[in-house]
Structures are given as C-alpha cells and as structure tokens.
Amino acid sequence: MINFKKNRIKFAFREEIEPEEIFLDSLTLKTEDDFFEKKFEVPLSRNVSGGFFIFIIFLLLVLFIWTFKFQVLDHNKFLVLAEKNKFIIDKVKAERGVIYDRNLEQLVFNQPRFDLVVEKNNLPKETMEKLKVIKGVSESVKKNYDYLKNEIEASKEPSLVVSKNLDYQTLLILETRISELPGFKIQNNTVRDYPEGKILSHVLGYKRKNDQTAGLENYYNNVLKEKLGETREERDVAGNLITQKIVSLPESGKSLILALDSQLQKKIYEELGNALENVGVRVGAAAALDPKTGEVLSLVSFPSFDNNLFSKGMSAEDWKLIEKENLLFDNAISGGYQTGSVIKPLEAAAALEEKLISPDKKIDASKGTGKIIIRNRWDPNKFQEFTDWTIHGLTDMRRAIAESVNIYFYTIGGGYGDQEGLGPSRIKKYLEFFGWGNKTGIDLPGESDGFLPDPDWKKRKLGESWYDGDTYNYSIGQGYLKVTPLQVAVSFAPIANSGKLFKPKLVKGILDSNKNLIAETKPEIIREGFIQKENLEVVRQGMRQGVTTNGSCTNWLNSLPFETACKTGTAQTGKIDPIDKKDYFDAWVVVFAPYDNPEIVLVIMVRNVKKAHPTIMPVARSVLEWYFSNKKIKM
C-alpha cells in the first residue's frame, strides 16, 4: 500500500500557493507515476511458462536416472570398490616342487629374487605427498621419475611390479627406506634355476614367471605347482591396519625323482657334442633306457638351449637365435629320420615269426656284383638295381645282421626268386609291434608319432602305385619311413630283454614337501610275446656277432671289458657334397650291454655326416666304458 500522506499539501498554514510549490508538485506526480509503472508486473506468455516447466521436469528426470544408476545398477560395482578400499587381500608365497635325478642329485632349484611392488590403494591420499614418495622410489631404483609416475598412474591393476630383480646394493637401500615409502613393499619371489642349462634343457624344460612351461615342468605342472596362501587385512580410511586374518595356508608343490642319471646325461652330451663339432654338423640325438623297466636313463638333443633364459629373462637377440636355429625342437622325441640298417634286426625277427625263412638258410649275397637286378613289371625292357655295400657271398641270418647284408634283407623283405618276402604290409605290422609309427607314451610333451608308409598311403597321398623297389628300400630303412631316436631305443628293449616292450618313463617317484616318497612309478609293459623268445635269441646272436666278427661295431666295441651287442645304420639323406660329390648320411648305432644281462640300451644318431661310423662309434664306446666303470660292475 502506498503512503500518500508524506506528499500531501497542507493549506492550514498558508492562504496562497506559491509558484515553487506548483513546480514541486508536478515533480512529485511524475515520480509517483514512475513508481506505479515499476511496481506492476507484465504477465508471462503460455509458451515461456510451458518451456520452463518442461525444463524443470527434464532436470528432475536426469537426476532420478543418475541416482538410480549409482544406487541400483552400479551398486555391486561400488560395493566391491568400497570393499577393496577397506580390505586388502594378500597372497602368501609357497615353493614350487623341485626335481632330482635317480641318485637324488638336485637338478632344479628355486632361486630367490626380490622385486619392488607398489600397492596403489596404500599410497598417500594427498597428491603432493604421493608424488614425494614416488620421487623417493625413482631415486632409489634409478628409474626416471616421470616414467615411473606415468607407469603407476596408467596401470589398472591394484598392485604393480615397478622394479624387478633388485641387485644387492639397491635392496639394502630400499630396506632402510621402505618405512618412508608408504604403498611400496619389497616382494620376495622365486625363479627357476637350472644349473646344468643346455645339458638337460629339453628334458627339464622351463617355467616362466607367466606360468608358461615346457618339458617336465609342463608335463608334471600340476604335481610341481604350489598352492598360494591368502591373508586378509582390514584398514581404515587412513590406511592404518585394523585386523589381519589368515584365509588359507600356502602349500608347497611336490617334487620329482627322475629315472634319469644326470652324470650319464652329462657324459653323453659332452661326447656327442664334441663329435658333432669335429665333423661340423649341428643335429644329433641320443637315448638310453633300462631294458628291464623302460626307465629313461638319458635323453639328449642337439642343438640345445639354455633354459635359464626363459626363467630369468632373455634379450631380443637371444630369442632371435633360438627361433633361427630351431633350438627348442627336441630331436630325440620329435625328429623323424630314416633309420638305415637299424631296421634289419626287427625285420629278421618278423621273418622268423612269419616262418618265411630258417635262420640257417643261406642266401646268395654275391648275385651279379653285389646287387639285385629286378625287371620293371610294367615295362619289361626296364631294370632297376639294388646294391649292397660289398659282396658277401652265401649268408645266413646271423651273419646278415652282423655284416648288415643288404641283399639278404632285400630278399626277406621284398622277396626274390623262390624266397617269399614279408611285403610292405607285414613289414609295417611288425614295426608297429616294436613301437614304430606311434608315440611311445613317454612323459614329455611334444612327442612325434613317426611314420610308416604302405601302398594305400602312397596311392592316396602321392597318387602313385607301390613298387617292388619301394619294398626293397623299406627293407633297409630307406624311403618314406620316419622314426625317432627314442622309438628306436624302445624297440630294441624287447631284443635285449627277450620279449617285453616297455613304455618309457622319465619320472621314477614323487616326494611331498617333507621329502617323503608318496608315489612310485611301476614298469608298464605295452606288449609282450609278439615275437617268440627263440626268434629273438637269433637276432641277439646276430647283433653280438656284429661286435665279435667282421661287423661294423667290431673295431670299436670288441675290446671293452664287458660284452655288448650292436647294430649300426646309415641312411642316405639325398644331400650330396657339391665339392667331392659324396653322399651325406644319417648315422645310427644301437647297442645294449652287458650282453647276457642287459642293463642299458643306448641309441645315438647324427644327422647329415659323410663319415658315419667314425663319428658315432667313438661316442658309444666312450659312454659305455664310462658308464660301467662308474657303476663298478664286475663282468
């Protein structure tokens, strides 16, 4: 309500109106008009008020959706984050199981390694204080401050290793300062240490920090693997410890006892390595078994690698070399090779079992000039020659094995004249009985089947018929077949032990964390009785004559103080020296000893050599001499 009294003109004191009063009155009225105009409001239009109402409703709707998302949809997410801020779960380390050889010599160790770890939730909340701590850490570990800060901020993990494998001096510095570096802690880790490195790398394999494994570390990972324990800490907002609880106890992994003799492994590795170096070749392999049990005493592959590179870290150059040279490939169990004459004792056993020939029947191995000539069945005007390495004359089975007479085995393998041969199907059948063409089942990953051909395969794969010449080549270990050194060793165990084909085993027993024996592997017979003992005895005698008469092993093994039985093989690889035009061979030797009571079957193979026997036979002799000398066996 406007008060008009203060502007009222009083007439009681004056009888006349002065001019000045008229002027002032007009000003007063003008002021009152302006006042009334300012005080009264202009009504808003419907469009403006409607828009304003919609805007308010929109804001309320957004607020409702945002609140619903945080309180309902993201409830669990933020609950977990809140719990993480309140509770800290810590893993308690345990030891991975180790590995021993048959004499309890430790082959694998857990080596301590100290890393610096940041737990981001425990860093100071105040920014400047946090950066001060990070600055102190960067100086201690000699790491660029900006790089370290960005590394921590960029990580989405609650904890992060900021410096690995601390050296002794850095470790001492950090231990004295760690109380001043909230959020950081020194973590005691372990890495695998393999003292023998290259000597056992294909057998033991490796265990990397990311749990990638190979070799025995892979095959028995579930046995060796430790079980981590767990603790739970409750902390207040300031990071102070309230309670600490053990959720689960750690459990160390179990340990392995191998059948392998690490000293024998080392001896074979050194001798074979020297032989390869002397002739300038890279690829070779060896396998040694106990023919009474199938236990693997040694398994060597060249070229090799240092498995410590995988457990402790390697450079880019290290990895390039490993890839370029194919160092991870295990030639002992994965490499498939033609065997040459090593096949002959198995073929002889098959012919006797099939009653195709008497062991005393003599075959004329002087046909022509030490060769068989056969006519092409589809083109009578064409002939094919199959040669022998010398002229032998009349030869029985024992002599044929001892002197490795090609013509004899062409004849019993593919047939010639009135002598029936085994043919490709029966050759394959008996080789499979002896374990060729299938995995042996050794407790290592990566084993190859090898390969045994037959007419159906050749027709299907190559679109060609199977010829007599294919069978003749098959009969002397040439052609399409592929066999691993381990398969060869396994196949000669039945000859050494009179009929039992064993599954090869590397692990002999398992120990618990207190080194108590809790499991022991038993010999596992794959098959037996597939060759009669009297037939195997003929083969044994032939292999023995390979040492005592004019055989390929005589000059090397006959002077040993114990009796051995032996068979060598040389398989043409198709590679020819461009200078002297001489062939390259895959060279083999198989030997078991002592002859009357065999304790070891030894197989050695060298790839692409020109001088076969002088390369591998000194290795076999040196290894056997050392082995029995160290065992102090009286013959």
Residue whose token pair is 């008229």: 22
**Has residue 259 been placed in a domain?**
no
Per residue in 151-199, pLDDT (tens digit) is 888 888 888 888 888 888 888 888 888 888 898 988 888 899 999 999 9
**Domain boundary residue among 156, 190, 224?**
190
CATH code for the domain of 342: 3.40.710.10
Per residue in 255-307, pLDDT (tens digit) is 999 999 999 999 999 999 999 999 999 999 999 999 999 999 999 999 999 99
- Beta partners for residue 576, in sequence order: 583
Whole-model pTM: value is 0.80
Same domain (yes/no): 163, 283: no
CB 79 within 8 A of CB 237: no
Write the CA distances from 315 to 54, 310, 320, 327, 391, integer angstroms: 66, 10, 9, 16, 57
**Has residue 311 been placed in a domain?**
no
Say which DSSP state 341 is in: G
Using 50, 70 and 90 to split pLDDT, how confident is the model at 90? confident
Domains in the chain, number:
2
Same domain (yes/no): 404, 538: yes
**Domain boundary residue among 158, 190, 222?**
190
- For residues 330 and 613, the model is more confident at 330
Same domain (yes/no): 421, 521: yes
**Has residue 94 been placed in a domain?**
no
Q: What is the pLDDT of residue 367?
A: 56
Same domain (yes/no): 172, 285: no
When the pLDDT of each residue in the chain is averaged and rounded to a whole number, the result is 87
Least confident of 139-153, 174-188, 225-239, 400-414: 225-239
Q: What is the pLDDT of residue 15?
A: 45
Same domain (yes/no): 289, 179: no
- The DSSP H or E segment spanning 206 is strand 206-207
482-519 exposure pattern, b = at least 16 Cβ within 10 A, e = fewer:
bbbbbbbbbbbbbbbbbbbbbbbbbbbbbbeeeeeeee
The answer to whether the peptide bond before residue 359 is cis (omega within 30 degrees of 0) is no
**Has residue 533 been placed in a domain?**
yes
Write the CA distances from 255 to 97, 588, 605, integer angstroms: 4, 35, 32
Q: What is the pLDDT of residue 6?
A: 44
Which residues form the domain of 164?
111-190
Say which DSSP state 343 is in: G
Same domain (yes/no): 290, 156: no
Residue whose token pair is 């075959």: 363
Sheet holding 284-289, edge to edge: 296-302, 284-289, 600-609, 583-593, 565-576
**Has residue 389 been placed in a domain?**
yes
Same domain (yes/no): 171, 283: no
- The DSSP H or E segment spanning 267 is helix 262-279
Same domain (yes/no): 285, 174: no
CA gap 32, 40 in Å, rounded:
13
- Identity (one letter) of the amino acid at 441? G
CA gap 373, 353 in Å, rounded:
27
Using 50, 70 and 90 to split pLDDT, how confident is the model at 5? very low
All residues at 6 or more sequence positions from 116 whose CB lies less than 8 Å from its CB, including other chains: 137, 141, 161, 162, 163, 166, 174, 184, 185, 186, 187
**Has residue 199 been placed in a domain?**
no
CATH code for the domain of 136: 3.90.1310.10
**Has residue 302 been placed in a domain?**
no
pLDDT at 426 over 70: yes
Q: What is the pLDDT of residue 42?
A: 55
**Has residue 231 been placed in a domain?**
no
